[in-house]
């Protein structure tokens, strides 16, 4: 089990700023409204000083699959789509269990400010930072795979595709998410809110990165690239 922390250096803060403005609808180089810029500067300053984005992950071996599930050292992951991806892999397969969070500092600041533009800006910063963190922890465990000349899938989260939200339990039973300040309530919802839990596959060959290739919902807003790069 490994802990990952995203270091918020000057370069990453600038990337976060650019991504937030893009999310808010501004084009590259476009100057935002003064109120938006003021709120963004405030959000980024709080982020730089007080936010510590963290993640935790563990890689466990796959013991077998059926048409409906994947059997791992930690237990059974129930998902027809995920199981199909694993069965397509060649060589020994492993599953990466992940949880990431940016904490609740920005959320508390957002909730304490009633102005609409601040609510909008802070939420955009939180969302973009959450994605940056998830990408960062993927880069971390992918280095393990690259060092062993292995391939990997995209991340696969409970509550999406055909994976029931109850699959959160196997992730939280596998990882000590409390070490990074994340808990799971009886409804399988994580706290703090800007947290992500997910699985991914590692194997000698992973010919398809995402289950979207099997899905007929071509207009789905969460649809991802179908083939591995």
pLDDT at 227 over 70: no
Query: What is the 3 state secondary structure string of the chain?
Result: CEEEECCCCHHHHHHHHHHHHHHCCCCCCCCCCHHHHHHHHHHHHHHHHHCCCEEEEEEEEEEEECCCEEEECCEEEECHHHHHHHHHCECCCEEEEEEEECCCHHHHHHHHCCCHHHHHHHHHHHHHHHHHHHHHHHHHHHHHHHHCCCEECCCECCCCCCCCHHHHHHHHHHCCHHHHCCEECCCCCEECCCEEEEEEEEECECCCCCHHHHCCCCCCCCCCCCCCC
Place of tokens 């292995």: 150
pLDDT of residue 128: 97
Residue 113 has pLDDT above 90, yes or no: no
Task: Identify the weakest region by mean pLDDT among 57-71, 137-151, 208-222.
Answer: 208-222
pLDDT > 70: what percent of the chain? 97
Segment 147-160, tens digit of pLDDT: 999 999 999 999 98
Using a cut of 0.85, tell me whether the model's pTM lies above it: yes
Q: Does residue 20 lie within any of the structural domains? A: yes
**Beta-bridge partners for 96:** 59, 200
For residue 228, being part of any structural domain is answered with no
Confidence of residue 161 (pLDDT cuts 50, 70, 90): confident
In the chain, the number of structural domains is 1
Worst-scoring range by mean pLDDT, 28-37, 97-106, 129-138? 28-37
Percent of the residues in the chain that have a pLDDT greater than 90, as a whole number:
79
| Residue 118 in domain | yes
Q: Could you tell me if residue 226 is inside a domain? A: no
Residue 85 in any domain: the answer is: yes
Find the mean pLDDT for residues 138-154. Answer: 93
Collapsing DSSP to helix, strand or coil, 65 comes out as: strand
More confident residue, 221 or 40: 40
| Structural domain containing residue 65 | 2-214
* 222 found inside a domain: no
Indicate whether 220 belongs to any domain: no
Does 58 have pLDDT greater than 70?
A: yes
pLDDT at 225 (0 to 100)? 58
CATH number at residue 39: 3.40.109.40
């Amino acid at each position: 089990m490994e802990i990952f922390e995203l270091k918020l250096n000057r370069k990453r803060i600038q990337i976060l700023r650019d991504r937030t403005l893009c999310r808010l609808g501004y084009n590259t180089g476009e100057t935002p409204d003064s109120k938006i810029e003021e709120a963004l500067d405030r959000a980024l300053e709080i982020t730089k000083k007080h936010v510590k984005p963290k993640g935790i992950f563990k890689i466990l071996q796959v013991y077998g699959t059926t048409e409906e599930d994947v059997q791992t050292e930690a237990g059974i992951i129930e998902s027809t789509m995920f199981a199909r991806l694993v069965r397509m892999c060649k060589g020994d397969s492993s599953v990466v269990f992940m949880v990431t969070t940016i904490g609740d500092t920005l959320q508390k600041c957002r909730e304490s400010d009633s102005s609409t533009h601040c609510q909008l800006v802070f939420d955009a910063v939180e969302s973009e930072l959450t994605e940056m963190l998830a990408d960062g922890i993927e880069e971390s465990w992918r280095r393990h795979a690259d060092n062993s000349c292995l391939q990997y899938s995209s991340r696969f989260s409970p509550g999406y595709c055909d994976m029931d939200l109850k699959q959160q339990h196997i992730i939280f039973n596998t990882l000590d998410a409390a070490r990074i300040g994340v808990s799971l309530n009886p409804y399988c919802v994580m706290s703090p809110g800007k947290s992500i839990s997910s699985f991914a596959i590692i194997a000698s060959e992973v010919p398809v990165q995402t289950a979207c290739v099997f899905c007929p919902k071509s207009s789905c807003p969460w649809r991802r690239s179908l083939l591995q790069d």
